[in-house]
Every structure is written in structure tokens, then in C-alpha cells.
Amino acid sequence: MRRVWNSFRLEFYTAKSVYPLMLVGLVIAGLLGIVRKPYVAALPIMVFAMFFGGTIWSIHERNHSDKLFGVLPVRRTDVVLGRYLYGLGMGLFNLLLGTIAIFVMWKATKADMTVFTYLAALSAGWLFYCLAVSISYPIYTRLSFSQAYIFTMLPFMILVVVCVYVLFKGNLEAVKQAFNYIIVHPVIMGCSAFGIGLLLLVISCVISMQLYRAKELS
């Protein structure tokens, strides 16, 4: 566990040059929330977190710092777990920041917003972040950052395809019933979204470790 923690700390300090840019992104998202509605800020906050969090791979590639892991007292599994721990920490930090910021904007501007809208926006942002990380991180283990960066658009494409399918081919009555249920139980919706996001990250982490092992054997 200590080696995983040290790997996480290495990721955290390696990406320190990105944090000022992330702060700019958070300010932009906050301004969107003030100009439009507070809940509008939720998705941009998590999108910025996803893009800036992914640059850790670009930094390692540019500095060839991945070669250091060959001499450092850490295993490949520690590297993978540390990197996912960094991704999880980035997501949780921005989710917490978004939760507080949107609540403050909600009360300060007295915007017309319900608890359901508040939690739905946060849930959508969290799920998008986890989906993006779970797709992009395993790809980054096999391809260079410049080659794999285009695949970060996959979550957008998947969401569009799913929405189109539900609208034209899905059981709209079942969707309506589910929607009515989560309106009445927004806390269950939020907890479910959080759990699904964590599950996506765990599955992705397992896949990445398998890809790293295959890469070492090839």
C-alpha cells in the first residue's frame, strides 16, 4: 500500500503545472453557472477535470518519466493503482468543489432549482468523468498520448448513441417510469450514480493492469 501511495504522490507532484490551468477552467465553469443556472456548471467542472487530469500521461510521455519506474522500487501494478488513485482523487476533488460551488450559487442567486436538478447535474458530471477516465486510461497504456487523445471523445459519442437509441428504439414508457421514480428519490439517484462511477473505475483499472502485463510480455 505504501508503494501505491508513493506512486500517487509522484503523479500528484508531476501534474502540478496543470493545476493553475484547472483553476481557470473552474472559474469559467463558475461563470457559466452564474450567467445561466447554477447546475449548468456541474458538467463543465468535470469535463475540465477529465481533460486536465489526462494530461498526466502527456507529461510522462514528454519527460520519458515512465522509464524511471524501471529503477524505482515500485511494481507495474503499483504504477497503475497510483495513477487510478490520482484519477479518483481528481474526480472526487472536483465533485466536492462542484457540490459546494453550485450550492453556494444556488442560495446566493436564489435560482429556480430543485434538489433533483442539483443532484442530477452532479450525477451526470460524475458519471461522465468516470466513463471518460475508464475508457481513456486503458487506451493510454497501449498508445502514446498524441495517438490516444482522440479517444477521449468516445464518451461523448457513446452518450449520443445511447440517447438516440433510447429515444427511437427504447421502451419510452419504462424510461418515463424510471425518470418519475428518480424525481421522487433524488438521493437514491445520486448514490447510484456515485457507485456506478466507482465500478467503472475499478473495471477499467483491472483492464489496465492486464494490458500492462501483456505489454511487458510482448
Q: Along the 218 residues of the chain, how does pLDDT read in single tens digits?
A: 777 777 777 777 777 777 787 788 778 887 877 777 787 777 788 877 877 777 777 776 666 666 655 556 667 777 788 888 888 998 898 899 888 888 888 888 787 788 888 888 888 889 888 888 888 888 877 776 666 666 666 666 776 677 666 656 655 555 566 666 677 777 888 888 899 999 999 999 999 888 877 766 55
Q: List Cβ neighbours of 183 (8 Å cut-off, separation of 6 or more).
A: 116
pLDDT of residue 55: 74
Tell me what pLDDT residue 201 has. 92
Global confidence as pTM: 0.80
Outline where the chain has alpha helix (H): 2-14, 19-35, 42-63, 76-109, 115-142, 145-148, 154-168, 172-184, 186-217
What whole-number distance in Å separates Cα of residue 38 and Cα of residue 36? 7
**Cell digits of residue 168:** 427511437
Cα–Cα distance measured from residue 186 to residue 14, given in angstroms and rounded to the nearest whole number: 38
Q: For position 49, what pLDDT does the model report?
A: 81
**What's the number of CA atoms in the CB half-sphere (13 Å) around residue 75?**
8
